[in-house]
Structure 1
């Protein structure tokens, strides 16, 4: 090989990725385009792409990017809101940064298998752009630190954090109801109880933001009208009815292939990055610690970290979450934003609605299902701009005709000169 050929080969090799892809798309052993694969991810907030069985992505812990962040790096406080409902005690866990002045309150709802910390990086970027805004991000029942017990076995209220850990390790002590109606009811309860806890005389103007399943929840709440005129607008992140229902066939396969246990918290964070479920290492360090926990008495001492949420147990509710989503999204009152990772997700109703200008559509083709974690700064800018377009306090309405006529009559009686019907 000549020197010219060697230099040419080196220049080409230098442009190749440092490491070959290490994951396959669900249901396609040969591999498919990543943007096509991600359209099936609307059901679960654990992503669509799964590691190849030949790659032990979750066994490596050497990455310096595996150090975790804490909730206090992103929020001002956390709240534990108790509720007695039927035969169960629920302690709803939320992260909160109150708004200041006339700032809005962004209420954020995560997807299945995720937690309120999924929005942490995005919120950090939004605060830079809109410092007066407040943020309320909650853990749905069966997720994060929100706990449920029967009345006969009440929660330990003196230390809710320890109670959440004990609850996760012992498993669900009551039947888990994750129907859409229940989850949207929980969301409204949390908003109202946060108002009471913080002593707000009135709710701030609210923008609802929901990712995946969370998008279905906030749309259901918007449709019910429970927030009245305090709801300015709502934003749905990467979920539409058609592709979500189509993805149900792949969900059980995905859940059967992801790791059940991790060596450490760091290995769990790294698995999310290396499998491309979350493509931003800073976001993964913030959100993953709330998804797994370390068992006190692990069945496998070499891998003591396990998932907090059993996604397999949510199967009875999958269809209930998404049926009718597109129509509710289009019919509910308030400004509407649909933020997607690919236009392949749009179904017929949404395509027609978009052509009629019924909602704002934004697409991030470079992002995965967790687009708000993959591209937090860009998502933050879109959400802030969306709020500003729907901010009623910024609207300058023209004077009413009756007021103009009254002013004209007054000026005429005072002898004020007028020209061509324009007051001078």
Structure 2
């Protein structure tokens, strides 16, 4: 290059603005712990509802970055608002009243605890939760179903040994000791709760009933339906994610599941977190409602830990009795029949034959876990609402009888 060309190039370069080398900025970002591209990406939210849109979550993670005039263009914010809270949600956002119903029997006194939204000229959906759960398992469902059926009511009890229901054995100083959790006893408990609710809320007669049970609760409502003790008040019954064959098979691995489950939690929030992280409950909103009712803190517990209210291992003597004969009773009972499952593999032979014969309505939620009514509360509510409408004979308008039709007038 000649001296003239060299001087001309220097003059041109001098007129350009100075820019720092790119690698210097990248080194600075690496020191701050950022990723390879220097972009801050919020950590995945483990408490996000499973039914949220995947496209929406993808869009949120690749949104347009607006440059800042500050030097630290991609600096991590001091506070992140992407995480959801794990604070418990109050029951009275989902039910209007809680009831304490006292039942005296020859060997025990029971104070049943239940949540209720009274119906207004509509049906009463009576729900029974599964083993180890509580009446608040149906809280989010209760809210969603009343969006579709505004006049409907919901009654959800805490079974004995669960939630805030207390059993006092006569002659014993301890509560809930040596609980009788047989299917017949649980069925009688639910019948008593229904009739006592009618008395306490001063209903002249029982409203139209739809019985809904999850897991163990499914066995209870089926047992009541096949016994016919509520007469014509029962329009139908729904069983959530339990059939006889798969339930009895699953009992073989129940001890393995209980051994892997934490025995205690340092706080309510950590209990909620475990349920969502383990995908036991896949809907974080429902977990925030129902999980606090599953735990309690003993006053004598020096470590200040939260433990399970229900000792599931102690219920083992009743496991097989809950589900034996369930499929036969489900198909034999009068009234509409609805079966909601998380997968078709749960159907046993008897139910497969019944389904092909059109004896009941089947709905499968492959995106849900065992707690269908919590994981997919809105969809469950819509299916139950449609099921009620299909079986509500009061809404039928029958044509007049042939003899009652007036003859057309003849012209004079």
Aligned to 1:370: 371
**3-state DSSP class of the match of 1:65?**
coil
Residue in structure 2 matching 1:220, options 214, 219, 223:
223
Q: TM-score with structure 1 length normalisation?
A: 0.76
Structure 1 contact 63–270 (Cα < 8 Å) conserved: no
Displacement, 1:407? Answer: 4.0
Structure 1 contact 93–146 (Cα < 8 Å) conserved: yes
Residue in structure 2 matching 1:87, options 103, 107, 123:
107
List per-residue Cα deviations over 1:85-107 (Å, max 9, x = no partner): 1211100111011001x210000
Aligned to 2:156: 137
1:172 aligns with 2:176: yes
**Equivalence map 1:91-240=2 (5 Å):** 91-100=111-120, 102-152=121-171, 172-173=176-177, 175-240=178-243
Displacement, 1:153? Answer: 6.0
- Moved segments of 4+, more than 6 Å: none
Displacement, 1:66? Answer: 1.2
**Equivalence map 1:380-391=2 (5 Å):** 380-391=381-392
Which segment drifts farther, 64-73 or 368-377?
Answer: 64-73
Structure 2 contact 128–217 (Cα < 8 Å) conserved: yes
Aligned to 1:292: 295
Displacement, 1:127? Answer: 1.3
Structure 1 contact 234–334 (Cα < 8 Å) conserved: yes
Q: Distance in 2 between matches of 1:224 and 1:381?
A: 28
Structure with the greater relative contact order (CA < 8 A, sep ≥ 6): 1 or 2?
1
1:360 aligns with 2:358: no
Residue in structure 2 matching 1:73, options 85, 93, 107:
93
Displacement, 1:399? Answer: 3.1
Residue in structure 2 matching 1:262, options 255, 265, 280:
265
Structure 1 contact 264–304 (Cα < 8 Å) conserved: yes
* Rg comparison, structure with higher value: 2
Q: Distance in 1 between matches of 2:410 and 2:301?
A: 88
Aligned to 2:338: 337
Structure 2 contact 168–175 (Cα < 8 Å) conserved: no
Structure 2 contact 128–156 (Cα < 8 Å) conserved: yes
Which structure 1 residue ranges, 5 or more long, are not aligned? 1-9, 12-16, 21-61, 155-169, 419-424
Structure 1 contact 210–236 (Cα < 8 Å) conserved: yes
Structure 1 contact 65–270 (Cα < 8 Å) conserved: no
Aligned to 2:380: 379
Structure 1 contact 212–236 (Cα < 8 Å) conserved: yes
**3-state DSSP class of the match of 1:369?**
coil
Which structure 2 residue ranges, 5 or more long, are not aligned? 1-35, 38-42, 47-81
List per-residue Cα deviations over 1:174-202 (Å, max 9, x = no partner): x2111111111111110001001111001
1:277 aligns with 2:297: no
List per-residue Cα deviations over 1:188-243 (Å, max 9, x = no partner): 11000100111100110000000000000000000010110110010100000000
Displacement, 1:152? Answer: 4.1
Q: Distance in 2 between matches of 1:152 and 1:343?
A: 48
1:416 aligns with 2:409: yes
**3-state DSSP class of the match of 1:222?**
helix
**Equivalence map 1:307-318=2 (5 Å):** 307-318=308-319
**3-state DSSP class of the match of 1:66?**
coil
Q: TM-score with structure 2 length normalisation?
A: 0.78
Structure 1 contact 115–291 (Cα < 8 Å) conserved: yes
Displacement, 1:405? Answer: 2.3
**3-state DSSP class of the match of 2:85?**
helix
Structure 2 contact 342–368 (Cα < 8 Å) conserved: yes
Structure 2 contact 169–175 (Cα < 8 Å) conserved: no
1:250 aligns with 2:253: yes
Structure 1 contact 142–309 (Cα < 8 Å) conserved: yes
Give the RMSD, CA atoms, in angstroms: 2.2
Displacement, 1:293? Answer: 1.1
Q: Distance in 1 between matches of 2:379 and 2:246?
A: 24
Structure 1 contact 215–236 (Cα < 8 Å) conserved: yes
